[in-house]
A and B are shown apart, each in its own frame.
Chain A
Amino acid sequence: MKSLNELNELKKKAQEYMNLREGKEIARVTVAMGTCGIAAGAREVLTAVMDEIKKRNLQQITVTQTSCPGRCSEEPIVIVEMDGQKVMYGKMDAEKARKMVVQHLVNKTICSEWVI
């Protein structure tokens, strides 16, 4: 260890994944993973969301899952919470999910066409 700067660099990197344990988040993506959601392809959606977040190295975004929100016809459903706003997307697939990450999480514009 040569300097405080070196330590701070190390710390910043290490904190990236510790944020998850400390409840630090700027956005939360919830994928509905009830039986119907999984049947409709919710897993692929979840994997795509995670992959896109990883590729873009986005920080402090929580990806979590919930059970069936009761709108089975709209599955797979993804809920995005950011800046005090809660948006529900329906009939998602992997491709839409990737686009949603870019548009909503990065560019901070809601993908209105998929909102339910």
Chain B
Amino acid sequence: MEFYRAHILICAGAGCISSNCLSVKSELEKQLKDQGLDKEIMVVKTGCIGTCDIGPVMIVYPEGVFYCNVQPEDVKEIVEEHILKGRPVKRLMYTVPTTKKVVEKVDEIDFLKGQTRIALRNCGVINPDRIEEYIARNGYAALGKVLTQMKPKEVIEEIKKSGLRGRGGGGFPTGLKWEFAAKSQSPQKYVVCNADEGDPGAFMDRSILEGDPHSIIEAMAIAGYAIGASQGYVYVRAEYPLAVERLGNAIEKAREFGFLGKNIFGSGFDFDLEIRVGAGAFVCGEETALMHSIEGRRGEPRPRPPFPAQKGLWGKPTLLNNVETYANIPPIILNGADWFTQYGTENSKGTKVFAVAGDINNTGLVEVPMGTTLREIIYDICGGIPEGKKFKAAQTGGPSGGCIPEEHLDIPIDYDSLKEIGSMMGSGGLIVMNEDNCMVDVARFFLEFTVDESCGKCTPCRVGTRRMLEILERITKGEGKEGDIELLERLAKNIKATALCGLGQTAPNPVLSTLRFFRDEYEAHIKDKICPAGICKNLLKFKINAEKCKGCGICAKICPVNAISKGEDGKYIIDNEKCIACGACAKKCPFDAIGKGA
């Protein structure tokens, strides 16, 4: 085997690809060749490292030097200085936004150091297109162990003991689900992986498929053995072409090496996998709709029971799990349930991956033990809120979840504690919002999403969520009426109780939780006709501070609707009847005399 003295890892996850990492990679390969280093230095393409907002990112081993925001024109300097002369390039290293400290090594970066990576163990470490690298990191050893040393019952027992719960949103105990599917009697059963990932902002499933596709293949084969299935399907949305490509490559390689196919590990067990590409409707992530879609039918939910474990794909018992759920399986088998249960809380074991976005210094993927507090994620790992702004709330669970206000920053995050405060774990989207967000508008935004995505099959969801949205729109326009809050609450209760599937049943959550923690904001909109955060345009009132105004007249010239005029004292005033709240005057006033708000 060739001996390379250094490996340069370049992230080729979808995030970095969109920031042009591929031209950085080809420039790097060219420069190395020009310098005659291409036999000494190996360039490795990896999946998402998790720090997508500072991509393209690069790690140089053996030193572990981490470079971010690398552009093609930076490559020459890296090769000539670092690779040739051993002088790492400070200029391209990561700078902590708050302290301005330059961090040299990848394992010294708070964002990565603070994580515990089980599901993401290989993401950003291996080349997903090289099965050997997966094998080097214990890949397929769990499948080998299961097929040669364990009975299906023992596998299920181990998963049950691990306390693993579904990472796709519901949090259902995985071992129990496997047991149900195993107990269903049928000559034909199926294993399905849900990679629909509809929660806007979440991208952990995509990153795992792109960065470590073999972990899913291995886990599904283990599941097949445990429940007695020989065929599996991975349902991926069409918006994830790279995930489809890498998974497709991986499946081929796995067949070639005999991890899929007939008589795996000489055990007599057969298993194979196919990818099904979905059109990417949110409701297709719901398990019954997803199975309809795989069967080639309309992706509409149906009532449960029967549950998929009894009657699933083509009427046969089907085990359906989320990508991240599967990614946890091989390490549990290899290291044992006791190892897994050392992470997490009483009823939520292991880790959870969050896709952190919004008003926060470091966005990206973060995997932490269950029970980590929101404060730790936001401030210790993700570097806090930019520009010294104040934290207002975080939304977990996307459009099905709820918001967590400042007073709950210190609750340990797990399935149960989130439920208690009216939110939910969901698939792991975590949107951080600062003081400039209007919570009524946030609720309106999420509800708008679910109204768009409702499949229309049942009335409470199709009509009910639309009514709720109309009320919210009214409130944000300043046309809210006495009694609107109560009406929202009543509608929400009815929809939750009567909608057919999870989409409708959880759609009111963002409204209910913002009402619970920010009711005064709703009241301010309705009663006082003001938006305290200054977001809802119709409720914005621009005002000139007479003490600061120097009478220069710039604002009056700029106003597109001539709402500003000179008063008798030489100071300018805004006619709020005419003002359309465009904000142009406030931006232009040289003396900062114009403000918005109540």
Task: Give the interface SS of chain B, mostly helix, strand, loop or mixed.
Answer: loop
Tell yes or no: B295 within 8 A of A by CB: no
Highest count of chain A CB atoms <10 Å: which of B4, B5, B83: B5
- Inter-subunit contact B62/A62 (CB<8 Å): yes
Proximity bits, B81-95, A CB within 8 Å = 1, else 0:
001111100000000
Proximity bits, B109-146, A CB within 8 Å = 1, else 0:
00000000000000001100000110111101100110
- Inter-subunit contact A17/B258 (CB<8 Å): no
Tell yes or no: A63 within 8 A of B by CB: yes
Residues of chain A with a CB closer than 8 A to B72's CB: none
- Inter-subunit contact A3/B86 (CB<8 Å): no
Q: Which residue of A lies closest to B5 (CB)?
A: A63
- Inter-subunit contact B259/A64 (CB<8 Å): no
- Inter-subunit contact B265/A2 (CB<8 Å): yes
CA distance A16 to B2 in the complex (A): 10
- Inter-subunit contact A64/B86 (CB<8 Å): yes
Proximity bits, B438-460, A CB within 8 Å = 1, else 0:
00000000000000000000000
Proximity bits, A46-81, B CB within 8 Å = 1, else 0:
110010011001000011111100000000000000
What is the distance, in angstroms, from B28's C-beta to the closest C-beta of chain A? 17
Residues of chain A with a CB closer than 8 A to B257's CB: 1
List the count of A-B residue pairs having beta carbons below 8 Å apart.
97
Proximity bits, B248-269, A CB within 8 Å = 1, else 0:
0000000001110000111000
Proximity bits, A1-44, B CB within 8 Å = 1, else 0:
11110010011011111101101010010101111001000000
CA distance A21 to B126 in the complex (A): 9
What is the distance, in angstroms, from B59's C-beta to the closest C-beta of chain A? 8
- Inter-subunit contact B85/A65 (CB<8 Å): yes
Q: Which residue of B lies closest to A2 (CB)?
A: B266
- Inter-subunit contact A23/B64 (CB<8 Å): yes
- Inter-subunit contact A18/B136 (CB<8 Å): yes
- Inter-subunit contact B86/A17 (CB<8 Å): no
- Inter-subunit contact A1/B135 (CB<8 Å): no
Q: With A7-B135, A20-B61 as given contacts, are A54 and B148 in contact (CB-CB < 8 Å)?
A: no
Chain B count of residues within 8 A CB distance of the other chain: 38
Residues of chain B with a CB closer than 8 A to A33's CB: 84-86
- Inter-subunit contact B266/A3 (CB<8 Å): yes
Residues of chain A with a CB closer than 8 A to B264's CB: 1
Partner pick for A20 among B7, B135, B140, CB 8 A cutoff: B7
Residues of chain A with a CB closer than 8 A to B265's CB: 1-4, 7
- Inter-subunit contact A1/B86 (CB<8 Å): no
CA distance A57 to B2 in the complex (A): 9
CA distance A47 to B40 in the complex (A): 8
What is the distance, in angstroms, from B291's C-beta to the closest C-beta of chain A? 30
Q: With A15-B136, A17-B4 as given contacts, are A7 and B85 in contact (CB-CB < 8 Å)?
A: no
- Inter-subunit contact B85/A18 (CB<8 Å): no
Residues of chain B with a CB closer than 8 A to A13's CB: 1, 132
- Inter-subunit contact A65/B136 (CB<8 Å): no
CA distance A16 to B136 in the complex (A): 8
- Inter-subunit contact B140/A1 (CB<8 Å): yes
- Inter-subunit contact B84/A65 (CB<8 Å): yes
CA distance A25 to B63 in the complex (A): 12
Q: With A2-B266, A3-B265, A67-B87 as given contacts, are A23 and B135 in contact (CB-CB < 8 Å)?
A: no
- Inter-subunit contact B132/A14 (CB<8 Å): yes
What is the distance, in angstroms, from A100's C-beta to the closest C-beta of chain B? 16
Q: With A4-B144, A10-B132, A10-B135 as given contacts, are A50 and B86 in contact (CB-CB < 8 Å)?
A: no
Highest count of chain B CB atoms <10 Å: which of A3, A35, A53: A3
- Inter-subunit contact B141/A17 (CB<8 Å): no
CA distance A17 to B44 in the complex (A): 12
- Inter-subunit contact B62/A64 (CB<8 Å): yes
Proximity bits, B185-228, A CB within 8 Å = 1, else 0:
00000000000000000000000000000000000000000000
Between A and B, 7 residue pairs with Cβ closer than 8 Å are: A4-B265, A10-B132, A21-B62, A50-B3, A50-B40, A54-B2, A65-B84
B residues at A contact (CB < 8 Å): 1-7, 9, 40, 42, 61-64, 83-87, 125-126, 132-133, 135-138, 140-141, 144-145, 148, 257-259, 264-266
8 tightest A-B CB contacts, nearest first: A65-B86, A14-B136, A1-B258, A54-B3, A63-B5, A14-B132, A18-B136, A66-B86
